Structures are given as structure tokens and as C-alpha cells.
Amino acid sequence: MSVTIHLHKSQRHLADGKASVDVAGRTVNACLADLIQQYPDLESQLFENSRRLKKNVEIYLNLESAYPDELAKPVRDGDEIHITLILSGG
Amino acid sequence: MLTHREKERYDRQLRIPEVGKEGQGRLKQAKIIIAGAGGLGAPAAFYLAAAGVGHIRIVDDDRVDRSNLNRQLLHWEEDIGREKTESAKEKLGRLNPDVIIETVSSRIDEDTVAAMVDRCDGIIDALDNFSGRYVLNRSAVTLDIPFFHGAVQGFEGRATTIIPGQTACLECLPRGEQTHAANPIIGITPGMIGCIQASECIKYLLRQGRLLENRLVIFDGLEMTWKEFNIKPRPECSVCGKKNRKRHHGDNTR
């Protein structure tokens, strides 16, 4: 069982420069936990202290918005998760 | 009716089948609000004015600062200290004297927004902060006004088109949180995204092409890629949920 997580550009330096990381898990939450186990520095980029996703983090599962309840979404072998950041600049 | 000067000015786009005289007439009759005369607003305003969108209202409460000039091409060195709306009106009027440029120099908030967007055909979201964007999004959905969203940071930008009653709105996505640091940005990024917003607006007015409805495009200028994500209206969205449910059930009353 393998799921690919595509990191936002600003997070890649915390994952040995990788643009994507293969993880295992049956939910988005489990996949992100595996990601953080491999690259612990990513935790503070993704989560508030209370293990809630940070407000500027968006999760897309197979190119579809996973909001709301992103962490509970089930994933299957071969799925792709994209992490993006909400922008406000103009 | 197009004047002789307008026929000359728009000659090359009148030759496009999707534009033609009828389409050019639609552009001329349209009234578009550009919320923000900054990095996104500048290219959007230039291209809408150049294309002959007949009435453009520019809203901004800021004055030109030297640090704006790397990206806000409406404003030049000699404009430092001027109201951005006045600087924008002067440049756009010189570019195309056949379009009406109206200015509103005040901040967009719950109290001011309704008067600002009154009786317009579309809103370009060229703001630089979340709070104004959410106010504008709510007003657009309530008043059934198409809303052309864009946002940028660094070499990255994003855009989507919100059609009330048919698409997801900004509140259907996670609600972003403002940081108080100056936004790092290079002019090419809002140049790209502001042009996308103007393109969407023109397509909407012409009733041509396929809009970015329920589609969010993310531009990565460093990789030079565009990635497209699907977004869906959330039925429980406090802003658009009720309107989208009504439309879904065939009730088109507004």
C-alpha cells in the first residue's frame, strides 16, 4: 500500500529536497503521520499544536479538495495527496 | 454601436469569431469592479481597458509607495504618494479614452461593500488580504455577481472563477489566516494571474469558452507549471450553500 504526497515548494527543504514522498496509511491523517515520521521537521509546517491542520494548509486528494474533515478522508493504494498553501497576496 | 474610432481600436479582436461586433458590444456595455489597484489589479485593469470593457470601477484606499513599483505597473516613480485610484485612472484614461474609469478611494468592509459593487457585471478580486476577500466573496454571492479570484505570493499564484448559485465560493475552501509580514512577491506572478482574471472576465462577458468554474489553478513560476484542482460547493457553506441547493433543485428564484 503506497500513497504519494506532493509537498509544497516551501516544505521540500525539510524533506531532503524531495518534491514528493511515498507513504503508507488508510486515511489522510495516517499518511501525514507517516510523512512526519520520515521527516519530523514537517510537523510544525502542517499542524497546530493541537494536531489540527494549520489554517493556511490545503489538502487535495487525487486533485479534489479534501476540505472539510481532510484528515479523516480514506485513501487507497496509488492515491495522490497534494499539500498546498492558501495565498492572500495581491 | 461602435464608433469609427472603436472599430479601428478593436480591429484585431473584432476579427476573432468569439468576439466580433456583438461581443465587442457586450464588453462596451459591461461594468466591472476591480477591487485593488495593486499587483493583480494593474494587469487586470490594463487588459480590460484595452479590450474595451466600457465601465471600470477601481477600488483602493492606499497610496503609492516606492516598494509597490516592482509589480504594480499602473504606478510609476512620479506617482509615489498619490492615491492609487487617481494614478490608475490617469494611466487607463491615457491608454483608452473610450472607457469610463470610476474610482472609489476607500476600504472594502461590511459597511462599504454593497455600494461599491452595486449594479456591476463582475468583480475582479485583486485584494491583498483575506478579510477584504471574504467580505467581497459574500457580497458577490448574495448579489449574484460573478467573482474572479486571484492571489499570489513569491513565484506562485492561483485563480478560480466563482459563479453564484453554480460554483464553490471562497468560503468552500479552508479559511486562510492573515500574517502581518510583508508579502514577498515579484511582478511577473501577479502579471500572470491578473491576466488570467481578466481573461476569465472577458470570456464571461462574451459568453465564450470554458470558465474556471469549480476549478482552482495553481501557477508555479519556478517550475513553469499549472496544476488544476477540483473544488466543490460545500452544501453546508454559510455563504453559498443555500443558493447552490436552490439552484440544484431547479428553483432559480433569487
Residues in B lying within 8 Å of A, measured between beta carbons: 36, 38-41, 125-130, 133, 150-153, 156-158, 168, 172-178, 183, 185, 190, 216, 218, 220, 222, 227-232, 234
Phi, psi (5° rounding) for residue B228? Answer: -115, 130
Look at residue B251 in the predicted model and tell me its pLDDT: 54
**Taking CB atoms and an 8 Å cutoff, what residues of chain B touch A53?**
174
Kindly tell me if the per-residue pLDDT of B14 is higher than 80.
Answer: yes
* Domain-wise residue ranges, chain B: 4-248
**Taking CB atoms and an 8 Å cutoff, what residues of chain B touch A57?**
174
Domains of chain A: 3-85 (3.10.20.30)
Q: Is there a contact between A65 and B39 if contact means CB atoms under 8 Å apart? A: no
Phi, psi (5° rounding) for residue B63? Answer: -110, 155
CATH number of B4-248: 3.40.50.720
Look at residue B254 in the predicted model and tell me its pLDDT: 42
Q: Is there a contact between A90 and B39 if contact means CB atoms under 8 Å apart? A: yes
B237: three-class secondary structure by DSSP: coil
Look at residue B9 in the predicted model and tell me its pLDDT: 98
Residue B4 confidence class, pLDDT cut points 50, 70, 90: very high
- pLDDT digits 0-9 by tens, B131-141: 999 999 999 99
Q: Distance between CA B114 and CA B183 in Å, rounded?
A: 28
Look at residue B181 in the predicted model and tell me its pLDDT: 82
Look at residue B98 in the predicted model and tell me its pLDDT: 98
- pLDDT digits 0-9 by tens, A54-77: 999 999 999 999 999 999 999 999
Look at residue B182 in the predicted model and tell me its pLDDT: 87
Within chain A, strands assigned E span 3-6, 20-23, 57-61, 64-65, 80-85
Kindly tell me if the per-residue pLDDT of B222 is higher than 50.
Answer: yes
pLDDT along chain A (90 residues), means of 10: 95 98 98 98 93 94 97 98 96
DSSP 8-state assignment for residue A72: G
Q: Distance between CA B82 and CA B87 in Å, rounded?
A: 7
- pLDDT digits 0-9 by tens, B145-194: 999 999 999 999 999 999 999 999 999 999 888 777 889 999 999 999 99
Name the residue among B156, B172, B190 with its Cβ closest to that of A90: B190
Residue with cell 505570493: B153
- pLDDT digits 0-9 by tens, B244-254: 888 777 655 44
**Does any CB of chain B come closer than 8 Å to the CB of residue A65?**
yes
Query: A49-53, B15-19, B126-130, B150-154: lowest mean pLDDT where?
Result: A49-53
Percentage above 70 pLDDT, chain B: 98
Minimal CA–CA distance to B144: which of B211, B48, B244, B60? B244
